[in-house]
């Protein structure tokens, strides 16, 4: 068993528009936690998360990637933080869906200068769809001509007055003020801080009949009562706490980590049900169960299966049951994967995201459980492809090698599909957009030494239909399915 109890585990997903600062925020947390000796940055290719060649070249996140670290609170408690960074670009929204499925809560990142964008609202809708408790982080305070109050007002105008700041910047931008602690509040902000704190106490009181009676009776709530009440308000979705940070200077990172530990739910707060609507007890002493949300082909370790532990304890060197395939599997090693670093562990509990190498029968969307149990969980529903190309090798005789490389790419990303057109006999590659498919072609060339060309499928050339697509996604000569795209624009 790990030394940290489940009540002190925080599992969340980082969401937002591309370029809003999700990865930079997590890089700042990693550096602040001294998990890395350098402050990584996606802009200069030193990020601990965006480490693949494709991500460095395109300067965007492509994959959902977990990172686990221990945060020591001001009270001296160790909090196990399990965060999943996600892409903001629409082509990779399948990664967002997968990561959201295995997270207990969400943090939506909004750039102070750009405000709420298309990807911000897409992230919000995903949270609403999954019923995820959430917080908002306003980033980019170090940029020129940013206005926190204007950014907050815009957020409240779109997402509602339940978005309440728990941290605000000082007037000169030199530091942030923790509204709940009310220590060292500059004189010019005392009135503002007291007004916000009063609103937060109201939210805390509304979670419990005893607290609301005490509050309405004019009695002060204790700090513990306020903390418990706010935790409940966030869990129910009645309160959306808003934080503010500067990732480059690490300003506000400590306050954000403190807020995560205080306000976001633990695995004990989240009711998990299997496909038969049975509640799954996350207690470490209960039978193990878990769900596969990602699978990759690691160049050094081979097949790596990413699993969210939902209940019980998963141990290395043990036997488990794949209830989806009805096959037993042998777990040799367990790893926590932090960026490109892999740390071997002996066991994992609810809330943990772990990687298991070389499972023989297990794939994405499979449910795993203790031998003798038969739990399984609903599969992730990925969006249908919206962009389609015919694909062929640049050199003659390379079809078999190309087909193998294409299927390898599709195995790693369920929003990419490959099939043979029965009428034209062309191999058809489909996905969520040009950027995703261009990167897929790059990966095939690098990893499998396969060069391909993409062109309009013969079945579509005959139709000669004009193509119109909303947003900024280039269609070149592909065919774009607007009905499927509408959900993501």
H/E stretch holding 107 reads strand 105-111
Distances (CA, A) of 251 to 214, 375, 455: 36, 44, 48
Is residue 445 packed enough to be buried (19+ CB in 10 Å), middle (13-18) or exposed (0-12)? middle
Contact between residue 307 and residue 273 where contact means Cβ atoms under 8 Å apart: no
Q: Which residues of 16-54 are buried (b: 16+ CB within 10 A; e: fewer)?
A: bbbbbbbbbbbbbbbbbbebbeebbbbeeeebbbbbbeb
Between the two ends of the chain, the Cα-to-Cα distance in Å is 44
- Top pLDDT among 145 and 428 is at 428
Contact between residue 334 and residue 283 where contact means Cβ atoms under 8 Å apart: no
When pLDDT is averaged across residues 145-162 and rounded to a whole number, the result is 95
Q: How far apart are CA 366 and CA 361, in angstroms?
A: 9
Q: How far apart are CA 357 and CA 301, in angstroms?
A: 7
User: Cβ of 405: how many Cβ atoms within 10 Å?
Assistant: 23
Radius of gyration of the chain, Cα coordinates, nearest whole angstrom: 24
φ/ψ of residue 476, rounded to 5: 40, -125
Q: Residue 395's pLDDT band (boundaries 50, 70, 90)?
A: confident
Q: Is the predicted pLDDT of residue 239 greater than 60, yes or no?
A: yes
For the ranges 239-253, 439-453, 469-483, which has the lowest average pLDDT? 469-483
Q: Is the predicted pLDDT of residue 487 greater than 90, yes or no?
A: no
In 3D, which of 170, 173, 220 has the Cα closest to residue 197? 220
When pLDDT is averaged across residues 463-482 and rounded to a whole number, the result is 41
Please report the pLDDT score of residue 478 as a whole number: 44
Please report the pLDDT score of residue 462 as a whole number: 63
Query: Domains, the chain, ranges and CATH?
Result: 6-270 (3.40.50.300), 280-370 (2.40.30.10), 387-485 (3.30.70.870)
Q: Is the predicted pLDDT of residue 485 greater than 50, yes or no?
A: no
Q: How far apart are CA 410 and CA 428, in angstroms?
A: 12
When pLDDT is averaged across residues 208-221 and rounded to a whole number, the result is 88
When pLDDT is averaged across residues 11-38 and rounded to a whole number, the result is 92
Q: Is the predicted pLDDT of residue 418 greater than 80, yes or no?
A: yes
Q: How far apart are CA 313 and CA 475, in angstroms?
A: 47
Please report the pLDDT score of residue 180 as a whole number: 87
What mean pLDDT is reported for the chain? 90
Q: Residue 7's pLDDT band (boundaries 50, 70, 90)?
A: very high
Q: Is beta strand 289-298 parallel, antiparallel or unpaired with respect to 302-311?
A: antiparallel
When pLDDT is averaged across residues 189-212 and rounded to a whole number, the result is 93
Q: Residue 463's pLDDT band (boundaries 50, 70, 90)?
A: low
Among the residues of 187-332, which ranges form H helices?
Answer: 190-205, 209-216, 223-236, 253-263
**Percent of the chain residues topping a pLDDT of 90:** 76
When pLDDT is averaged across residues 379-390 and rounded to a whole number, the result is 94
Please report the pLDDT score of residue 115 as a whole number: 95
When pLDDT is averaged across residues 394-412 and rounded to a whole number, the result is 88
Summarize pLDDT for 94-124 with one digit per residue, the tens.
999 999 999 999 999 999 999 999 999 999 9
When pLDDT is averaged across residues 34-55 and rounded to a whole number, the result is 87
User: What letter would DSSP give residue 373?
Assistant: B
């Amino acid at each position: 068993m790990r030394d940290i109890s489940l009540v002190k585990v925080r599992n969340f997903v980082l969401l937002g528009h591309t370029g809003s600062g999700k990865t930079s925020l997590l890089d700042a947390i990693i550096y602040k936690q001294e998990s890395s000796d350098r402050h990584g940055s996606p802009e200069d290719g030193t990020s601990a998360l965006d480490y693949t060649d494709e991500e460095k070249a395109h300067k965007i996140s492509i994959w959902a990637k977990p990172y686990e670290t221990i945060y020591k609170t001001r009270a001296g408690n160790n909090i196990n933080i399990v965060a999943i960074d996600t892409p903001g670009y629409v082509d990779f929204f399948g990664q967002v869906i997968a990561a959201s499925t295995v997270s207990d809560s969400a943090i939506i990142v909004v750039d102070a200068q750009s405000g709420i964008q298309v990807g911000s609202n897409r992230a919000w809708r995903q949270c609403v769809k999954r019923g995820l408790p959430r917080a908002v982080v306003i980033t980019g305070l170090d940029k020129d001509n940013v206005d926190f109050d204007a950014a907050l007002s815009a957020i409240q105008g779109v997402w509602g007055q339940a978005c309440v700041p728990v941290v605000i910047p000082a007037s000169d931008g030199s530091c942030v003020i923790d509204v709940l602690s009310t220590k060292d509040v500059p004189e010019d902000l005392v009135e503002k801080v007291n007004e916000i704190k009063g609103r937060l106490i109201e939210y805390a009181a509304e979670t419990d009949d005893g607290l609301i009676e005490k509050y309405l009776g004019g009695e002060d709530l204790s700090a513990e009562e306020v903390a418990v009440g706010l935790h409940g308000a966030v869990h129910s979705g009645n309160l959306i706490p808003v934080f503010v940070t500067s990732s480059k200077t690490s300003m506000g990172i400590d306050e954000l980590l403190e807020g995560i530990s205080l306000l976001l739910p633990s695995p004990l707060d989240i009711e998990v049900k299997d496909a038969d609507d049975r509640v799954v007890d996350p207690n470490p002493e209960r039978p193990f169960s878990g769900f596969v949300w990602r699978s990759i082909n690691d160049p050094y370790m081979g097949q790596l299966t990413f699993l969210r532990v939902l209940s019980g304890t998963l141990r290395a060197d043990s036997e488990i049951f794949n209830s989806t395939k009805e096959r037993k599997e042998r777990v040799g090693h367990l790893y926590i994967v932090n960026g490109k670093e892999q740390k071997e562990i002996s066991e994992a509990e609810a809330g943990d995201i772990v990687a298991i190498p070389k499972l023989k029968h297990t794939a994405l969307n499979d449910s795993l459980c203790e031998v003798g149990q038969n739990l399984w969980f609903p599969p992730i529903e990925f969006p249908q492809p919206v962009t389609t190309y015919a694909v062929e090798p640049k050199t003659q005789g390379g079809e078999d090698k190309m087909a193998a490389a294409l299927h390898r790419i599709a195995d790693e990303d369920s929003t990419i599909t490959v099939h043979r057109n029965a009428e034209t006999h062309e191999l058809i590659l489909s996905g969520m957009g040009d950027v995703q498919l261009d990167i897929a072609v790059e990966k095939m060339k690098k990893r499998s030494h396969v060069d391909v060309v993409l062109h309009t499928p013969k079945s579509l050339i005959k139709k000669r239909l004009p193509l119109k697509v909303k947003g900024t996604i280039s269609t070149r000569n592909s065919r774009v399915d607007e009905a499927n795209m509408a959900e993501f624009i």
